[in-house]
């Protein structure tokens, strides 16, 4: 399995830089964005990004809005919400919009890695299923 | 147990009371005015109308009566005069001067008129009595100086006033002038005063009504039945006026003196009653009684028939009816006044109570609002703290990552560095826990019920208070039962109640500190949560008031006096109740009894008196 590509979105630059170092050290390919628009731009440029770690409270486009947009444009990309400001409403909203999970800062590295791994696995399974279905389609078309 | 909405006591109370008193006064005044005014106006108008019509009726009645009697008296006089005329005109001078015949005539007249005629006489124009018959010895009497004689000589017919005369006995004279042998004579008869008097005396109406006759000189012509206590100029004026309006004996003077003329003079014919001749007025006698005076001229204006009746007597029936009406009116008014007082008192007490309720509610809203804004603030702070803590934790994690690299492992302080990093991670986690608790607690008080594990809830509240307890030198102990089933209640409200009780307990123990016990157990289908302290206890006098809104023993500005009151409201809403036990110097125990979800509360189990016993000092 190739190195997973993760996009880290947070307006706290110090947090992003520390987290990026730590995730990179754990063999993840990490790219950064500091608000929602940047995140969408990064996704449009790099189609290898599989998981997005997304802050909820950001200036401009909020985490929830960003999540909605990501899920609309790139349904296969898994999103993990990570926030210091946890409310039940945003958590429920996030889960409804298709976030993979909802984590609260400060978060244990192992927990985060676990979630990323699970999300990655889910995405890859999903991707494989689609691939299989398409392949089957192609094979069936050839046979007929 | 207590009235949650008792009128709040405090500095505003005095103002409130005077406000409610003035409100009460205004309402009473308004109600009384609105109900009594129309009653009084209507009664006044109706009463006035009734009095006017009654007075008119009484006056008309008196007028008719007096007119009737006047006619009777006039008829009586004319009848007697006519008799004498008949005597004078029917017989010759010789016949009449015959003593036996004259006496015979008198006897016949007396028989016909029941002794009205006392005696008869014929008087020569010189005044000497030419013939006489009767009980008195008056033959040859000289009347030349008598008033009646002088008057009689002037006219054809004459009826005198009552006078004593020669006989010293009240009487009056009916005289007819006749010319015999070229010389004028007067044929006269004396009318018995008693007979005439009884005619007038018979006019009696009611208790005090009586009549009498007066002449122009103001002398009584009949005996008044009751002594007349009127010494009043108005009365005299009225009588004078009456005489002035009536021409005196004019009609008699104008009569042609025709001897033997059988036609009676105009004035002596029975006349139709003339309404306008009767005057009615009111005067006040010496005893201050109002008297109704009815006057009418008699004997061609020479006399006046006066009828007197006390107004109180004439109007007695009216006064009785009026008094009954006034008593009824007064009773009605008293009823209205009493009702006004009662109704306005009731209304004002309701208004006062609802005002007090509103005040308590406002305070609760303020309190809730304060909590809510505090909650928002806490949430903001939690978020702001979590971000830097996260960065710290991540940076520490990064150091940890770097330490894992081989060239660090052999260093002397590697283990110590790792321990320190671990500590940073742990403390970061603690920060997170604290902020999360703060967030969950500060969230708006949510009254919606949920299945709650009560032990968890108590632990959470206790852990929140632990720091405060530590600084206050208070040792916290929890004894939680394992048998507590999940309960359906509003967790945030229960948190509020528990936190309040715990905070109160810590405050009560003051700087000296003490032991604070929190326990729960099941009893009789109730869930019991107990918070006990080893503080100074609550004085007996304060015990019944501790749940009253605004009751506080804390210094001004430190306690709102609403905490327990709000708790009481919350527990009451859960169908639960509070029990308090306190001993001076030993401490206080608060128990919250909440019926377990699904089970109906059993208020019968512990009634009011039993609960009261629980409050022991």
Q: A140: how many CB neighbours lie within 10 A of its CB?
A: 9
In our burial notation (b when 16+ CB lie closer than 10 A, e otherwise), range B327-350 reads: eebeeebeebeeebeeebeeebee
Say yes or no: B421 contacts chain A, CB-CB below 8 A.
Answer: no
Minimal CA separation from A24 to chain B, in Å: 11
The pLDDT score that the predictor gives to residue B555 is 66
Q: Round to whole Å and give the CA distance between B138 and B7.
A: 107
Q: Round to whole Å and give the CA distance between B106 and B83.
A: 11
pLDDT tier at A30 (50, 70, 90 boundaries)?
very high
Nearest CA to B513 among B501, B522, B505? B505
* Terminal-residue alpha carbon distance, chain A: 34
Say yes or no: A109 contacts chain B, CB-CB below 8 A.
Answer: yes
- List pLDDT tens digits, range B391-409: 999 999 999 888 888 777 7
Using only the alpha carbons of chain B, give its radius of gyration.
Answer: 59
Minimal CA separation from B403 to chain A, in Å: 12
The pLDDT score that the predictor gives to residue B446 is 57
Strand duo A51-54 + A5-9: pairing: parallel
Q: Round to whole Å and give the CA distance between B65 and B265.
A: 27
The pLDDT score that the predictor gives to residue B345 is 92
Using only the alpha carbons of chain A, give its radius of gyration.
Answer: 16
Q: Is the dihedral of CA B352, B358, B361, B365 positive or negative?
A: negative
Of the listed ranges A119-123, B9-13, B170-174, B393-397, the least confidently predicted one is B9-13
Q: Round to whole Å and give the CA distance between B384 and B439.
A: 12
DSSP letters, B10-33, are STHHHHHHHHHHHHHHHHHHHHHH
The pLDDT score that the predictor gives to residue B14 is 59
In the predicted model, what is the mean pLDDT of residues B406-433?
A: 84
Most confidently modeled range among A55-69, B212-226, B549-563: A55-69
The CA angle A67-A70-A75, to the nearest 5 degrees, is 115
* Interchain CB distance below 8 Å, B387 and A21: no
User: Is pLDDT above 70 for B562?
Assistant: no
Residue matched to tokens 């106006």: B41
Is residue B359 within a helix (H) or strand (E), and if so which, with residue range?
A: helix B316-404
Say yes or no: A104 contacts chain B, CB-CB below 8 A.
Answer: yes
Say yes or no: B393 contacts chain A, CB-CB below 8 A.
Answer: yes
Q: A103: how many CB neighbours lie within 10 A of its CB?
A: 16
Most confidently modeled range among B298-312, B324-338, B574-588: B324-338
The pLDDT score that the predictor gives to residue B234 is 63
* The model's pTM: 0.47
Query: Which A residues 15-44 touch B at CB under 8 Å?
Result: 15, 18-19, 21-22, 25
The pLDDT score that the predictor gives to residue B267 is 44
The pLDDT score that the predictor gives to residue B5 is 36
Structure tokens at B370: 């304060």
Burial class (CB in 10 A: 0-12, 13-18, 19+), B471: exposed
**Closest chain A residue to B426 measured between Cα atoms?**
A108
Burial class (CB in 10 A: 0-12, 13-18, 19+), B135: exposed
Topology given in CATH for the domain delimited by B447-614:
Heat Shock Protein 90 (3.30.565)
- List pLDDT tens digits, range B565-602: 778 888 888 888 889 988 888 889 999 998 886 544 44
Domains, chain A, ranges and CATH? Answer: 5-143 (3.40.50.2300)
Find out whether the peptide bond into B250 is cis, omega within 30 degrees of 0: no
CB nearest B401 (choices: A12, A25, A86) = A25
User: Is pLDDT above 70 for B254?
Assistant: no
Minimal CA separation from B18 to chain A, in Å: 51
Of the listed ranges B161-170, B254-263, B446-455, B588-597, the least confidently predicted one is B254-263
Structure tokens at B106: 């008198």
Contact B116, B198 (CB under 8 A): no
Identify from B387, B398, B429, B491 which residue to disrupt to test chain A contact, counting A C-beta atoms within 10 A and taking the largest count. Answer: B387
In the predicted model, what is the mean pLDDT of residues A77-83?
A: 91
Q: What SS3 string covers B412-466?
A: CCHHHHHHHHHHHHHHHHHHHHHHHHHHHHHCCCCCCCEEECHHHHHHHHHHHHH
**Closest chain B residue to A57 measured between Cα atoms?**
B383
Of the listed ranges A14-23, B203-212, B331-340, B555-564, the least confidently predicted one is B555-564
pLDDT tier at B293 (50, 70, 90 boundaries)?
confident
Say yes or no: A76 contacts chain B, CB-CB below 8 A.
Answer: no
Say yes or no: B379 contacts chain A, CB-CB below 8 A.
Answer: yes
- List pLDDT tens digits, range B48-64: 999 899 989 988 988 88
Contacts of A14 in chain B (CB under 8 A): 391, 395
Say yes or no: A105 contacts chain B, CB-CB below 8 A.
Answer: yes
Say yes or no: B377 contacts chain A, CB-CB below 8 A.
Answer: no
User: Is pLDDT above 50 for B195?
Assistant: yes
Beta bridge partners, A101, equal A80
Of the listed ranges B285-289, B333-337, B556-560, the least confidently predicted one is B556-560
């Amino acid at each position: 399995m190739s190195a997973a590509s993760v996009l880290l979105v947070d307006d706290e630059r110090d947090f992003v830089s520390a987290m990026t170092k730590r995730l990179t050290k754990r063999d993840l390919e990490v790219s950064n964005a500091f608000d929602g628009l940047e995140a969408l731009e990064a996704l449009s440029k790099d189609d290898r990004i599989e998981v997005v770690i997304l802050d909820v409270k950001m200036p401009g486009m909020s985490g929830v809005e960003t999540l909605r947009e990501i899920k609309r444009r790139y349904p296969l990309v898994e999103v993990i919400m990570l926030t210091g400001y946890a409310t039940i409403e945003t958590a429920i909203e996030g889960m409804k919009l298709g976030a993979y999970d909802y984590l609260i800062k400060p978060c244990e590295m192992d927990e985060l890695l676990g979630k990323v791994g699970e999300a990655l696995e889910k995405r890859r399974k999903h991707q494989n299923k689609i691939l299989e279905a398409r392949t089957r389609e192609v094979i069936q078309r050839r046979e007929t | 147990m207590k009235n949650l909405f008792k009128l709040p006591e405090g500095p505003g109370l005095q103002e409130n009371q005077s406000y409610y008193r003035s409100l009460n006064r205004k309402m009473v005044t308004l109600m009384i005015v609105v109900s009594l005014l129309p009653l009084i106006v209507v009664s006044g108008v109706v009463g006035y109308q009734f009095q006017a019509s009654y007075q008119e009726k009484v006056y008309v009645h008196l007028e008719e009566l007096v007119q009737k009697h006047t006619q009777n008296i006039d008829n009586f006089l004319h009848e007697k005069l006519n008799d004498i005329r008949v005597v004078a005109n029917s017989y010759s001078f010789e016949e009449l001067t015959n003593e036996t015949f004259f006496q015979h005539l008198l006897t016949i007249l007396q028989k016909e008129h029941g002794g009205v005629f006392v005696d008869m006489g014929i008087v020569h124009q010189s005044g000497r009595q030419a013939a006489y018959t009767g009980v008195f010895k008056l033959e040859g009497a000289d009347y030349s100086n008598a008033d009646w004689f002088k008057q009689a000589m002037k006219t054809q017919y004459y009826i005198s006033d009552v006078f004593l005369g020669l006989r010293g006995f009240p009487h009056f004279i009916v005289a007819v002038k006749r010319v015999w042998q070229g010389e004028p004579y007067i044929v006269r008869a004396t009318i018995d005063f008693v007979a005439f008097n009884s005619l007038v005396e018979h006019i009696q109406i009611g208790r005090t009504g009586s009549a009498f006759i007066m002449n122009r000189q103001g002398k009584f012509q009949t005996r008044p039945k009751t002594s007349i206590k009127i010494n009043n100029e108005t009365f005299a004026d009225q009588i004078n006026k009456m005489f002035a309006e009536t021409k005196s004996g004019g009609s008699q003077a104008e009569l042609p003196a025709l001897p033997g003329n059988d036609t009676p003079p105009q004035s002596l014919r029975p006349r139709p009653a003339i309404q306008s001749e009767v005057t009615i007025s009111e005067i006040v006698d010496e005893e201050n009684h109002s008297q109704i005076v009815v006057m009418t001229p008699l004997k061609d204006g020479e006399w006046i028939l006066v009828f007197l009746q006390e107004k109180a007597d004439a109007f007695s029936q009216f006064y009785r009816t009026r008094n009954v009406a006034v008593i009824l009116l007064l009773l009605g008014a008293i009823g209205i006044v009493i009702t006004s007082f009662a109704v306005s008192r009731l209304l004002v007490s309701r208004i006062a109570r609802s005002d007090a309720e509103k005040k308590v509610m406002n305070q609760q809203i303020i309190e809730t609002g304060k909590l809510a804004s505090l909650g928002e603030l806490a949430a903001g702070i939690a978020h702001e703290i979590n971000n830097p803590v996260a960065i710290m934790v991540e940076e520490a994690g990064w150091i940890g990552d770097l330490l894992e690299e081989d060239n660090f492992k052999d260093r002397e302080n590697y283990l110590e560095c790792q321990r320190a990093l671990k500590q940073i991670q742990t403390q970061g986690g603690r920060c997170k826990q604290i902020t999360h608790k703060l967030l969950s607690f500060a969230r708006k008080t949510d009254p919606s019920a949920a299945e709650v594990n009560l032990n968890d809830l108590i632990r959470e509240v206790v852990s929140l208070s632990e720091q405060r307890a530590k600084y206050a030198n208070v040792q916290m102990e929890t004894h939680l039962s394992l048998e507590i089933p999940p309960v359906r209640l509003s967790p945030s409200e229960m948190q509020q109640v528990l936190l309040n009780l715990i905070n109160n307990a810590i405050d009560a123990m003051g700087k000296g500190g003490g032991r604070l016990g929190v326990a729960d157990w099941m009893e009789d289908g109730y869930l019991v949560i107990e918070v006990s302290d080893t503080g100074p206890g609550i004085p007996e006098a304060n015990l019944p008031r501790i749940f009253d809104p605004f009751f506080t023993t804390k210094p001004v500005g430190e306690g709102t006096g609403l905490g327990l009151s709000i708790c009481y409201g919350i527990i009451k809403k859960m169908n639960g109740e509070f029990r308090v036990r306190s001993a001076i110097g030993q401490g206080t125990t608060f128990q919250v009894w909440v019926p377990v979800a699904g089970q109906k509360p059993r208020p019968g189990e512990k009634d009011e008196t039993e609960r009261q016993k629980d409050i022991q000092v």
